[in-house]
Amino acid sequence: MSYAPEAAQAGTAPGSWRERLRRRFGAWIKRRIPPARSVTLDQRRIFIMPSRVGVFFLLCLAVMLLTAINYENNMSYGLTFLLATLFIVAILHTYANLAGLGVHAVLARAAFAGQQTEFDLRLERGGRRPRFDLRLAWPESNEQRINLIDADSEVLRFYCPVGRRGWYHPGRLLIETTYPLGLLRCWTWVDLDLQAVVYPQPLASAELPGQAAEAGSGGALPVPGAEDFDGFRDYRGGDSLRHVHWKGLARGQGLQSKLYAAHAQSDRWLSWEAFAGLGTEQRLSHLCYWALDFERRREAFGLRLPGVEIAPGSGDGHRDQVLTALALHGVERSA
Amino acid sequence: MKANEQIPRNALVWILLGMAALLAPHITRLPLWVVAVYGVCALWRLQIYRGVWPFPKRLVKLGLIVLAGTGIWLSYGSLLGLEPTVALLLTAYAMKLLELARRQDAYVLLFLGYFICITEFLFTQDLLIVLYSLLTVWLVTAALVALHQGARAHIRLAPLRQSGVMLAQAFPLMLVLFFLFPRIGPLWTVPVKTHAARTGVSDNMSPGSISNLSKSDAVAFRVSFEGDIPPKAELYWRGLVMSRLQAGVWSSFNYYEVPAAERRAAPVATEGEPLRYSVLMMPTQQNWLYSLRYAESAQAGVMQAPDYRLFRPVEVEEQYRYTVRSWPDAPLAPSLSDWRRLAELRLPADDNPRTRALAQQLREGAGSDAAFVEAVLERFRQQPYIYTLQPPLLGEHPTDQFLFDTRRGFCEHYAAAFVTLMRAGGVPARVVAGYQGGEVNPVNRTVIVHQFDAHAWAEVWLDGEGWRRVDPTAAVSPSRIEQGLEQALAGEGSFLADSPLSPLRYRGIDWINSLRLRYDALTYRWQSWVVGFNSENQLQILQRYLGELTAQKFVLILLGSGLLVLGPLGIWLMRARRGPAMDAVTREYLAFCARLARLGLQRGPGEAPGDFARRAAAAQPANAEVVATVTRLFEQAQYAPAGTMQREAAQRIRQSRRRLRPR
């Protein structure tokens, strides 16, 4: 039942009618529910159909009706009709369980290829009515089941396995409910306009070409503690939390970062050219590995890619900048 | 929809409650072991929930199913028929509990529950049972809701409330469907009740058969007359005519025992206005109907026997209503065919010699057949005969013994002895069995005839007059006919002696009696208008209110009533969700501000409560204190940990709202 509109399945021939149908449906739903970071569910976005259980229920009603007819039993007619109208009333209740619900994109966390990315979103109850039995899932993510009874909103986290470097689009988020009776399935597919950066998969190489002169760096082995305390400066966004001068903060000196001087004086450069002769992905993977390696050793480093140059630096912000540049090399900035 | 969805504990509790409620009305019809199976399965499922016992293995389940089938077969003697089928269904239903692991199983179980509710209606559609079933439907629906409310720490009543609301909303549309849905006949034949007890007068009569019936306070039928109700003493409801005496048992002729020429009733000359009435009969599992003589029914499916009684070709399995016209004074069969005369005079040879002698002696002493009848009745009146529900047992020549020795008997003794005397004296006579009298319900002017009104009397054929009704019991105990069985047995105290709780025993207590009669009137209305609602009533009602019936009108009414019910419901549901989610304190604070706005003080958009309070104090000094208090409360509640003071703050803000003074 959880059919994902945009998750193109491998193995379907591109020209097949199913694929065409899927594309047309994708285009239609994109017009109907355009991507947005914040969505309040309303009748434009909500679909409702009998669930499989509902169809079974209708079959049971048919048997009851036949019993009533064959036994000419008025109370059986009565009960059958009561349940039939209960089904109709359930349409409204199931719809009301989804309508007015607010969904807000919170963040998409970057991940390395082959690992899992995290998406956070906030579900807002919208109104005083409690919400029951909500099921949320992206086509490839885990599913979350949630009741919003007392809480006004709740932040949900989803994990999606990511494959290739670049942008990862989770597709449309399925939100469905069968509350209160399970007879009807009310659902929507919202595109929260979330995308996560997928970094290249780090790939170790024996040494960093062009820097081989650096003696004793031990190739792939990190050298712990190879840094000296240099002083304080005001905290800047991107500084590692590990470097925050917590004791000073506790004394009321404001947020400060400890500065460390890398013991190597010369700035290091990670260069696209250093891995000449290898394939693009392999190059990026090696660069990624070394970027992480430098970061671990708190060494400042810069990155040179065709068309991109990032000045040497260090810290979490710098690292993310470098990794993002690697991730998006040759990929359109936004899809 | 994932396959491995678990069943929350709350839902399990509701499911078990629903199942118990579904079983309860069936218990009296089930063998005791089926009830035990329910108990064991419920216990087992609870132990599974507690993790003590495992789910049964497949082989165990298979064994249980075979065992249950065999059990039903042994208990009922077959697997066909309605009762064994329902018992089998109920047993399977109980055992389904042992498979209740996932949500899917619960759906099957609960939908089956609705169906089991219907099987109850196949046995009885009594008003109380229907109300009770509504309760079970409510419980089952609550279980369905609980299944979707997830695991919660405590058992809550929320599912009950939600399902109650939904059922209440579904009810009006159900009524529309109930009245509009075309009632078509059965599409195929279905298993019938094979184990239901035959009730009412049976087709043969021996000493004790009527007095047994007199111990029951069940209703046999209810009659509503179009005009005045005839006096009680005239209400002889003929059911069966018994012309044959064999081995001390009176019985009626089978259809095939009657010669072809005699199978149709001789025409009866009817004059004057008939009594018009309709009889609503409770199921008897027998095929004769009850009516006053001489009865005709224009209704399809009601037939007339040659001895002027009414019957149906099929047994009365459900309540049955028929309309009758009766001419009580019309002469029946002024001339008697030879075959009939012989049949109505036949007596077993060598039986009851003393009775025969007495009959001959009395006949000779009387000038005519009519005088002979009178002489016999006179003998019953004069001699110390006693009308009793507890007659002594009779031996080889029962009529002799009864007439000359014991002289204690119930109506069947008197009727049988009288007919024997008549036949021995050469007068054609026969026993008639049915009911006599009835209770007039002043609430709705129906005559309620109970089983204890069962009676047997006689008909004798007199030349020139035809069949005349003679009731020897009336000669012995006139109060039985004029006042009823209770008065007739007042001295003996045996009226409904076996059912001490019957409300009929407490007719002397006014409020109980009036309650009983009101309930009976309600039952009559229920049985005739709801349970007995059929295509005829339907057509009548629809035509009365809608005029000519067309398909268009039909669809319009369905759609219209659907909109009328669902429209407001939709608006209500949608409105409830509108408006931002906010806590009680904020709500009260905003209401407070709205009140201030009406007093001419508008809080600007984005104006902080503190700033607004200062501005308010300057503009309206009279309200300054109240506004300051409310603002303080609001701010405190906003920053206090949740659940500490919010409720109290909201309440105090609401109270403060009333203390605002106009300028």
Query: What are the DSSP calls for B310-359, one per residue?
Result: EE-SS---S-EEEEEEE-TTPPP-SS--HHHHHHTT---TTS-HHHHHHH
Most confident of A223-232, A317-326, B384-393, B491-500: A317-326
Q: Does the pLDDT at position A2 exceed 70?
A: no
pLDDT digits (tens, 9 = 90+) for B279-293: 999 888 888 899 998
Contact A74 B533 (CB under 8 A): yes
Task: Assess whether A39 and A153 both reside in one domain.
Answer: yes
Is A43's Cβ below 8 Å from some Cβ in B? Answer: no
Q: Does the pLDDT at position A6 exceed 60?
A: no
- Tell me what pLDDT residue B576 has: 57
Residue B297 C-alpha, separation from nearest chain A C-alpha, in angstroms: 23
Most confident of A159-168, A227-236, B105-114: B105-114
Optimal mutation site among A181, A184, A187, interface B, most CBs of chain B within 10 A: A181
pLDDT digits (tens, 9 = 90+) for B159-170: 899 999 999 999
Contacts of A136 in chain B (CB under 8 A): none
Residue A325 lies in a domain: yes
**Residues 117-136, chain A, touching B (beta carbon < 8 A):** 124-129, 132-133
Task: Assess whether A219 and A298 both reside in one domain.
Answer: yes
Contact B167 A69 (CB under 8 A): no
pLDDT digits (tens, 9 = 90+) for B10-44: 889 999 999 999 999 999 889 999 999 999 999 99
Domain boundaries, chain B: 9-171, 204-506, 584-657
- Tell me what pLDDT residue A229 has: 66
> B153: pLDDT confidence band, cut at 50, 70 and 90?
low
Query: Quick one: average pLDDT of B515-521?
Result: 90
CA–centroid distance for A255 within its chain = 31
Contacts of A43 in chain B (CB under 8 A): none
> B505: pLDDT confidence band, cut at 50, 70 and 90?
confident
In terms of residue numbers, what domain contains A246?
A: 228-262
Question: Which residue does chain A place closest to B577, by CA atoms?
Answer: A127
Query: Quick one: average pLDDT of B299-307?
Result: 87
pLDDT digits (tens, 9 = 90+) for B539-584: 888 888 877 778 888 888 888 888 888 888 888 777 655 555 567 7
Task: Assess whether A161 and A272 both reside in one domain.
Answer: no
- Number of domains composing chain A: 3
Minimum mean pLDDT range among A69-83, A101-115, B639-653: B639-653
Query: What single letter denotes the amino acid at residue B78?
Result: S
CA B417 – CA A164 distance, rounded (Å): 107
- Tell me what pLDDT residue A182 has: 92
> A227: pLDDT confidence band, cut at 50, 70 and 90?
low
Question: Which residue does chain B place closest to A81, by CA atoms?
Answer: B174
Residue A58 lies in a domain: no
Task: Assess whether A246 and A295 both reside in one domain.
Answer: no
Average pLDDT, chain B: 86
Residue A8 C-alpha, separation from nearest chain B C-alpha, in angstroms: 21
Contact A75 B318 (CB under 8 A): no
- Tell me what pLDDT residue A219 has: 39
Query: Quick one: average pLDDT of B593-615?
Result: 83
pLDDT > 70: percent of chain B: 96
CA B161 – CA B51 distance, rounded (Å): 30
Query: Quick one: average pLDDT of B312-328?
Result: 88
**Residues 133-192, chain A, touching B (beta carbon < 8 A):** 133, 143, 145, 147, 152-153, 178-182
- Tell me what pLDDT residue B2 has: 44
Q: Which residue has the tokens 């899992």?
A: A116
Question: Which residue does chain A place closest to B574, by CA atoms?
Answer: A96
Average pLDDT, chain A: 82
Residue A91 lies in a domain: no
pLDDT > 90: percent of chain B: 27
3-state secondary structure B479-533: HHHHCCHHHHCCCCCCCCCCCCCCHHHHCCCHHHHHHHHHHHHHHHHHHHHHHCC
Contact A82 B148 (CB under 8 A): no
**Phi and psi for B215 in degrees, rounded to 5?**
-85, -5
- Tell me what pLDDT residue B129 has: 94
Distances (CA, A) of B124 to A200, B274, B536: 74, 34, 22
Task: Assess whether A205 and A194 both reside in one domain.
Answer: no
Three-class SS state of A185: strand
Tell me whether 0.85 is exceeded by the ipTM. Answer: no
Q: Residue A180, preceding bond cis, omega within 30 degrees?
A: yes
CB B311 within 8 A of CB B283: no
Task: Assess whether A35 and A129 both reside in one domain.
Answer: yes
> A260: pLDDT confidence band, cut at 50, 70 and 90?
low
Contact B166 A96 (CB under 8 A): no
- Tell me what pLDDT residue B315 has: 85
Task: Assess whether A164 and A206 both reside in one domain.
Answer: no
Contact B581 A124 (CB under 8 A): yes
- Structure tokens of B373? 């009848």
CA A332 – CA A329 distance, rounded (Å): 8
- Tell me what pLDDT residue A12 has: 47
The DSSP line for B564-581 is HHHHHHHHHHHHHH-S--
Q: Does the pLDDT at position A209 exceed 70?
A: no
CB-closest option in A73, A88, A128 to B122:
A73
Contact B162 A56 (CB under 8 A): no
Task: Assess whether A163 and A278 both reside in one domain.
Answer: no
Task: Assess whether A285 and A189 both reside in one domain.
Answer: no
Q: Does the pLDDT at position A212 exceed 60?
A: no
- Tell me what pLDDT residue B132 has: 96
CA B505 – CA A331 distance, rounded (Å): 95
pLDDT digits (tens, 9 = 90+) for B418-458: 999 999 888 999 999 999 988 899 888 999 999 889 999 99
Query: Quick one: average pLDDT of B243-252?
Result: 86
Query: Quick one: average pLDDT of B407-420?
Result: 90
pLDDT digits (tens, 9 = 90+) for A145-199: 888 887 778 899 999 998 888 889 888 999 999 988 999 999 999 988 888 999 9
> A263: pLDDT confidence band, cut at 50, 70 and 90?
very low
Task: Assess whether A195 and A205 both reside in one domain.
Answer: no
Residue A242 lies in a domain: yes
Residue A256 lies in a domain: yes
> What b/e readout covers B257-271, taking b as 16+ CB neighbours within 10 angstroms?
ebeeebeebeebeee
Query: Quick one: average pLDDT of A208-228?
Result: 46
CA–centroid distance for B181 within its chain = 22
Most confident of B31-35, B507-511, B536-540: B31-35
Active site residues of B: 411, 455, 471
Task: Assess whether A252 and A195 both reside in one domain.
Answer: no
Residue A88 lies in a domain: no
> B616: pLDDT confidence band, cut at 50, 70 and 90?
confident
Query: Quick one: average pLDDT of B233-258?
Result: 87
Which neighbouring-strand residues pair with B431?
B242, B458
Q: Does the pLDDT at position A238 exceed 80?
A: no
Task: Find, among B302, B305, B301, B303, the residue nearest to B262 by Cα.
Answer: B305
Minimum mean pLDDT range among A268-277, B133-142, B194-203, B557-566: B194-203
Optimal mutation site among A41, A57, A85, A146, interface B, most CBs of chain B within 10 A: A85
Contact B115 A133 (CB under 8 A): no
Three-class SS state of B216: coil
pLDDT digits (tens, 9 = 90+) for A287-301: 899 888 888 888 888
Question: Which residue does chain B place closest to A77, by CA atoms?
Answer: B178
> A222: pLDDT confidence band, cut at 50, 70 and 90?
very low
pTM for this structure? Answer: 0.77
CA B554 – CA B538 distance, rounded (Å): 13
- Structure tokens of B175? 């009524």
Contact B578 A127 (CB under 8 A): yes
> B533: pLDDT confidence band, cut at 50, 70 and 90?
confident
Task: Assess whether A107 and A239 both reside in one domain.
Answer: no
CB A185 within 8 A of CB A50: yes
CA A172 – CA B501 distance, rounded (Å): 69
pLDDT digits (tens, 9 = 90+) for B48-100: 988 888 888 889 889 999 999 999 999 988 888 888 999 999 999 999 999 89
